[in-house]
Amino acid sequence: MAHSVRRDAPELPDFSLLKRLARDQLIYLLEQLPGRKDLFIEADLMSPLDRIANVTTLKQHDVDKLYKVEHKPIVSTSDQLCFLIRPRIKTVKWICDVVNADKAFGRFRRYKIIFSPQKFYACENLLEEQGIFGDVTTDEWSFYLLPLDDDIISLELPEFFRDYFLEGDQRWVRTAGSALHLLHSVYGPFSKVYGIGRCSKMAYESWREQVEEGEQRARQAEIGNVFLIDRDVDLVTPLCSQVVYEGLVDDIFRIKCGCVEFCPDVTSSDKSIKVMLNSQDKVFNEIRNEHFSQVFGFLSQKARNLQTAYDKRSGMDIKQMKTFVSEELKGLKQEHRLLSLHIGASESMMKKKTKQDFQELLKTEHSLLEGFEIRECISYIEEHINRQVSMVESMRLLCLLSLTENGLLPKDYRSLKAQFLQSYGIEHLLTFSNLKQLGLLVEQQPGETLTVMESRVGKLVNDKTAGKLTDAFSSLAKKSNFRALGRRLNLVPKSDEEYDLRVPRDMAYIFSGAYIPLSCKLIEQVLERDGWTGLEEVTRMLNGHEFAVTAGSNGSDARVKTDSQRIILVMFLGGCTFSEISALRFLGREKGLKFIVVTTAITNSARLLESMLDNHA
C-alpha cells in the first residue's frame, strides 16, 4: 500500500532553512532589548514558536520568565517586558492597559512589542491613542512561514479566512505576498505562476511589487511553478467529512501545528500524550494518505511483521542476539510504539464514528454531492437539528446543502433556520448573517433582483467605482454553480461503478470515490493545459480572476530547469485541508510531480465554521 515513488520524481527543497531564518531573527530582536526580561507570548504563537526554538534558546537570550498572553492583569516583577504577539487590536489594547496600570502605579519599566509576522498601523495608532507610543518600542518578527512537514508550509494565520472572506479586510494580502517573496528569494526564481481568485491575484501583484523593489540575484531555481488559489473558489471540499487517515485524525483530535494530543482513550494509559505527526513517523507516513477503510488492514499486517521480527530472537546465539539488540531492537521498539499508537487512534476513531452513525452521515453527504434524493437529505438534516446533535455538524450539512444546490428554497431556508435557532440558540441569528454574507448558506433569489440593484446603484456612480461595485455585488450573491462545475469537470463519478479504495484510480478516493475535490481538479487541469485555455466556462462559473503568467526565469542548466519545473508550490489563501494535501500527493505520484502546499492555515470543516461564529463577546 505504500506507493512506490516514481523514479524520476524530483527531490523536495530543504525548508528547514526557513526555521533557521525565523529563529535567528527572533534572537536578534530579543537582543534589541538587552538585559533580563519577561516574555509574554500570544497563545496561538506558542506552538509555532515551539517548532523553531525552545525555552533554553530563549533563556540564553536573557528571557527570564515566560507567560502566555491571557488578557488579564500581569504579575511580572521584571523591569523589562517583551510581548511577542500577533498584530491584533485586542492584544494591543491589553498591553496598553498593562502599561497604563504601571504608569498609574508610578512603576517604571521598559516595554517592547514584537509583532509577528508584521505590525499594523491600526495597532500603532492604538498605542498612540492610549498615550504609550514611545514608552513602548515596536518591532516586527517576519516569521511568515512555518514548515510543518517536508511538503507543507503554513503561515499559521487561521484568521485569514474570516478577515478576508467574511470581513473583506485585505490586511493579510501583503503578508501573503511577502511569504511568496521569501519563498521566491530562497527557492526561486519561479518560472510560471497560475492562480484563481481575487485574493490570489492581489497576493501575486503584491509579490511582484516586492520583487521589483528588492534586488534580484540569479540562482538555480528549486521550485519552478506556483499555483495560487482562493479558498472561496472551492468551499465544498473543506466542508466534507474527511475519511483519509490524516484528515480524519484532524477532524476528530485536531492536529495543531503538526502535533496531536491523543487522549487516554487512545494511549490506553491514564494520560494523554502529544505526538508529532509528520513524515518522520514511519508508520504514520505510510497511512496518512490512505482511505480509513484501508488503514486497519495495513496496521495489522504491520503488527504481524513486527511480531515476526521479534520472533527472530528465538534460536539466536549470543552473537546474533547482540547484533539484533544493537542494530534492530531500537528500531523495532520505536515501530512498536508508533504502531500501537496508531492502532489505538484508529480504534478510538472507529468507536466515535460508529456512535454518531457515520455511515448515514456520509450517505447524506454523498447524496448532496451527487444531487440525489435532496428531500431525504433535508429531512436528515432537519432531524439532526431537532435532536440537538452537534451544532457545527448541523451547520456543516446546511452549508453543503446550500453550496451544492445553489442556495435553499426560501421555504426550506426559513424553516431550517427557525429550527436551528430553536435547537442551538437564537443568538445564531448572527451566525446565519455571517454565513449569508460569505455565501456559505443562502436563500435562492429570483434571478433579476441583482441586476436591477446593480444598474440602479451603477447610475449613481462613475464607471470605475461601478466596476468595483459589481465586483462586490457579485461576490455577495456569488453562486457556487456546483452542479454545473461538477458536470464540466467530472467531479462526481457515477455512483453505480465500483470504486476500489485499495487501488485508487483518481483523487476521488479521498472521499471514498464519491467526489474529486474541485480545488485539486482545477490544479490538475491547469497544469495539464499549462494555463486556463479551454477552461473558460469553468472560470466564468467560478467568478473569474484567473491568471497564468510566465515570470521569466532564465535557468542556466536545462536539466535543473526541468527538475524544478516538476516541483509545484500550491498556495491556498484561506486554508486547506489534509484531504486536499493527500489528493495532491496522489496527483504528484501519478504525474511524476512534487507538490509543496503553502497554506494560510490547515483547516477543516469545524475550524472553518467556528470562525463564522459571532458568539464571543
**Of residues 23-42, which lie at the interface with other proteins (CB under 8 A)?**
23-25, 27-28, 31
Comparison of 4 and 56: residue with beta carbon closer to other proteins = 56
Minimum CB separation from other proteins for residue 526, in Å? 23
Asked if 541 touches other proteins (CB under 8 A), the answer is no
Task: Select from 287, 312, 317, 280 the least CA-distant residue to 301.
Answer: 287
Which C-beta is closer to other proteins: that of 174 or that of 231? 174
For other proteins, the binding residues in 363-402 under the rule CB under 8 A are 382-383, 386-388
CB of 87 to other proteins, least distance (A): 8
Of positions 1, 9, 46, 186, contacts other proteins by CB under 8 A: 186
Q: Which of 274, 285, 193 is nearest to 546 (CA)?
A: 193
Taking the CB of residue 311, how many other CB atoms lie within 10 A of it?
9
Whole-angstrom distance, CA of residue 196 vs CA of residue 228: 6
CB of 289 to other proteins, least distance (A): 26
For the CB of residue 454, give the shortest distance to other proteins in the complex, in Å: 12
Give residues 94-123 in contact with other proteins (rule: CB under 8 A).
118-122
Residue 373, CB-side half-sphere exposure with 13 Å CA sphere: 10
Least Cβ distance, residue 481 to other proteins (angstroms): 23
Residue of 90, 333, 488, 540 that binds other proteins (CB under 8 A):
90
Greatest Cα pair distance, the chain, in angstroms, is: 93
DSSP assignments along 40-82, one per residue: EE-HHHHHHHHHH--HHHHHHTTEEEEEE--SS------SEEE
Among 6, 36, 60, 71, which residue sits at the site for other proteins (rule: CB under 8 A)?
60
Using DSSP, state whether 400 is helix, strand or coil.
helix
Q: Does 422 contact other proteins by CB under 8 A?
A: yes
Among residues 233, 506, 514, 509, the alpha carbon closest in space to that of 371 is found at 514
CA 87 to chain centre: 20
**Residue 50 found at the interface with other proteins (CB under 8 A):** no
Alpha-carbon distance of 600 to 175, in angstroms, equals 10
Told to check if 139 binds other proteins by CB under 8 A, we report yes
Output the smallest distance, CB 195 to other proteins, in A: 14
C-alpha distance across the termini of the chain, in Å = 49
273 or 418, CB closer to other proteins?
418
Nearer to other proteins, 268 or 422 (CB): 422
- CB of 427 or CB of 536, closer to other proteins: 427
Our finding on whether 276 is near other proteins (CB under 8 A) is no
**Using CB under 8 A, which of 306, 374, 472, 541 touches other proteins?**
472
In whole angstroms, how close is the CB of 362 to other proteins at the nearest point? 18
Say if CB 92 and CB 120 are below 8 A apart. Answer: no
125, 300, 320, 490: which one contacts other proteins (CB under 8 A)? 125
Site string for other proteins, 162-181 (x = CB under 8 A): -x---xxxxxxxx---x--x
Q: Taking the CB of residue 321, how many other CB atoms lie within 10 A of it? A: 14
The candidate with the shortest Cα–Cα distance to 602, out of 138, 260, 280, 326, is 260
Segment interacting with other proteins, rule: CB under 8 A, options 13-21, 343-351, 534-542, 565-573: 13-21
CA angle, residues 441, 447, 452, in degrees to nearest 5: 110
List 2, 316, 409, 426, residue binding other proteins (CB under 8 A) = 426
In the list 185, 444, 481, 539, the residue contacting other proteins (rule: CB under 8 A) is 185
- Smallest distance from the beta carbon of 140 to other proteins, in angstroms? 7
Which single residue is written with the C-alpha cell 437564537? 426
Nearest to 239 by CA among 616, 614, 611: 611
Min dist CB 257 to other proteins, Å, is: 19
CB of 210 to other proteins, least distance (A): 7
DSSP string, 179-226: HHHHHHHHH---SEEEEESHHHHHHHHHHHHHHHHS-------S--EE
Q: What is the dihedral of CA 369, 371, 373, 374, to 10 degrees?
A: 90
| Residue from 89, 263, 325, 409 binding other proteins (CB under 8 A) | 89
The residue count for binding other proteins (CB under 8 A) is 85
CB of 225 to other proteins, least distance (A): 19
Nearer to other proteins, 469 or 489 (CB): 469
| Nearer to other proteins among residue 438 and residue 518 (C-beta) | 438
Q: How far is the CB of 446 from other proteins (least distance, A)?
A: 17
Rounded CA-CA distance 12/155 in Å is 19
Name the nearest CA neighbour of 519 among 228, 281, 117.
Answer: 228
Task: Pick between residue 189 and residue 486 the one whose CB is nearest to other proteins.
Answer: 189
Q: Provide the minimum distance between the beta carbon of 426 and other proteins in the complex, in angstroms, as a whole number.
A: 4
Q: Which amino acid is at 437?
A: Q
Site residues for other proteins, window 283-312 (CB under 8 A)?
none
- For residue 5, give the DSSP letter: P
Chain Cα centroid distance, residue 249: 14
Question: Footprint of other proteins on residues 311-370 (CB under 8 A)?
Answer: none
Q: Name which of residues 198 to 237 contact other proteins (CB under 8 A).
A: 202, 205-206, 209-210, 212-217, 219
Stretch that binds other proteins, among 65-73, 76-84, 291-299, 461-469 (CB under 8 A): 461-469
Report if residue 469 touches other proteins, rule: CB under 8 A: yes
Q: How far apart are CA 247 and CA 259, in angstroms?
A: 13
